[in-house]
Structure 1
Amino acid sequence: MGFPGVWMTESESMIYRVVPKCACSTIGQIMYYSDHGQFFDGDIHDSKAGLHKWSQDDSQPLIERAVRDRSAPSFTCVRNPYARILSSFFDKIAGIQRNGRRYRGKLVPQLIQRYGIDVGSPENGFEFDQIASFRRFLLFARDTIRFRRPMEPDIHWSAMSGHIATFIVNGGRYDRIFFTETFNDGMRQVLDDCPTPVSVDLAQVPRFNESEGHGPKRAHKVSAYFDDLSRHLIWEIYKSDFQLFRYDFDDPDNKMPVGEIDLDEVHAKLGR
């Protein structure tokens, strides 16, 4: 199976397991900058050179050797599950993608037909009932994850623990897992562990949010989107994310973690 979703700098200074909707664009750009002294011109997910990716055949033996030898620090980043699933909805379902189209072509029309979701349009200023539509999307997301119907689960709303586990199961070990909510502190620790060719001033790094400005803004506080049924579904989908990464299930408005991540526990539970 190898190491899907893994990126590594060309200098082999650091290894990163991508977790969608957890600052992955910004992290990828920082990695690129730490080798080349400039950011990639465009979406870092589209880069074909300047950064090793498991999806690039030539990069695979280099990544595999570095992971097996533990010759570079390996890390990933996590995010509050409530905020992450909301971000997935507003970006991938309600938003327009950078190519000017809806995400995955027929997905949104299928959701409108099967689940009664309304996401508005640029023509009406994305006017729609955000709370009702999000809750219906959440039911769809649960169906894809629990029953793999009407489609396989998408990487943007499948559990973080599932992404993170593949690296462990296939022989990798994380040196750090940090929080999106305290991004600069966590990324600084990663950079301090890595002898990068170019130093990075995190205070000067922009946030590379590739979906910014292409869809509706969230109109309510996080807890407004989650009634009792929604929270039941969230627990069903993301129980391990809340437990392993120390996020507060009881208060959707508390985006901050309530404890430190135990790396030994993560490896023990996700490495089975």
Structure 2
Amino acid sequence: MSFPGTWMTESESMIYRVVPKCACSTIGQIMYYSDHGRFFDGDIHDAGQGLHKWNRPESQDLISKAVSDHQTYVFTCVRNPYTRILSSFFDKIAGIQRNGRRYRGNLVPALIQKYGIEVGSPEDNFEFDQIKSFRRFLLFARDSIRFRKPMEPDIHWSAMSGHISTFIANGGRYDKIFWTEKFNEGMADVLRSTKTPQPVDIKEIPRFNESEGHGPKRLHPVEDYFDDLSMHLVFDMYKRDFRLFKYDFENPANKNPIAEIDLDEVHKRLAK
């Protein structure tokens, strides 16, 4: 069995299925802290030790056994699809990455050419029409997800249900799925359900946003970016996310969930 995107504490107190753009940096740092009593110095995605990760060959047998035995608490975290795709645009398309370059090399120039997207630059203080460019990016994101053209969908804007389903399809089961919009409450539930070597006070944990400060600031309320066509494109891409994780498709201004997540329903729907 394969469990890509899965992290586990070295103490095997908890297993987390990473979902990009859903507080994964903060969650990874909390897991690291819960074992070592300190945060990882740098981006937790770069940590090559101190945390088991599926992409580390030496971790795979340990993660597989922990999943199959189901003695280790398993969780993940989701986010409103409207704010998640908007965050992906500002971070990965309009923003400059930590290495000082654009994301994925020639991706942004290709989108400028094929979709007419504008992203500005640090030199002009990222001056561009954010709403128009974002809506054109949505067309590209839909094309990549629906038609796999001009490229395969990127992990940062592919559906959350797709990430979460790989764990279920390979025999895993989640004990908890919580919302980034209620992060402290959800993560506190995880910590109460586990025994960690180091105590963690969720109220004292900083937020680790590795993309912050490397691109333009969002200038408008979330709902201003989504007209009727944009909402249709978003629903086309993320209808399972809205339904399973109980977000409000009708109102982009409402980032909060409108019902409780039914874990049995999630497992039933995503096991297929």
Q: TM-score range by the shorter chain?
A: over 0.9
AA partner of residue 63 (structure 1): I
Tell me the residue number matched to 2:264.
264
Deviations 1:165-214 (A, max 9, x none): 00000000000000000000000000011100001011111100000000
Q: TM-score, normalised by structure 2?
A: 0.99
AA partner of residue 185 (structure 1): E
1:163 aligns with 2:163: yes
Counterparts of 2:193 and 2:61 in 1: how far apart (Å)? Answer: 23
> How far apart are residue 163 of structure 1 and its match?
0.2
Deviations 1:83-127 (A, max 9, x none): 000000000000000000000010000000000000000000000
AA partner of residue 175 (structure 1): D
Tell me the residue number matched to 1:250.
250
AA partner of residue 232 (structure 1): H
Secondary structure at the residue paired with 1:131?
A: helix
Tell me the residue number matched to 2:54.
54
Secondary structure at the residue paired with 1:178?
A: strand
Tell me the residue number matched to 2:215.
215
Counterparts of 1:21 and 1:206 in 2: how far apart (Å)? Answer: 17
Structure 2, gaps ≥5 residues long? none
AA partner of residue 138 (structure 2): L
List, as ranges, runs of 4+ consecutive aligned residues in structure 1 with deviation greater than 6 Å.
Answer: none
Tell me the residue number matched to 2:9.
9
Counterparts of 2:238 and 2:194 in 1: how far apart (Å)? Answer: 31
AA partner of residue 115 (structure 1): Y
1:240 aligns with 2:258: no
Secondary structure at the residue paired with 1:138?
A: helix
Tell me the residue number matched to 2:101.
101
Counterparts of 2:185 and 2:248 in 1: how far apart (Å)? Answer: 20
Structure 1, gaps ≥5 residues long? none
Q: TM-score, normalised by structure 1?
A: 0.99
> How far apart are residue 47 of structure 1 and its match?
0.4
Counterparts of 1:227 and 1:255 in 2: how far apart (Å)? Answer: 16
1:139 aligns with 2:153: no
Counterparts of 2:198 and 2:124 in 1: how far apart (Å)? Answer: 46
Counterparts of 1:69 and 1:238 in 2: how far apart (Å)? Answer: 32
Aligned residues: 272
AA partner of residue 58 (structure 1): E
Counterparts of 1:243 and 1:222 in 2: how far apart (Å)? Answer: 20
Counterparts of 2:72 and 2:5 in 1: how far apart (Å)? Answer: 17
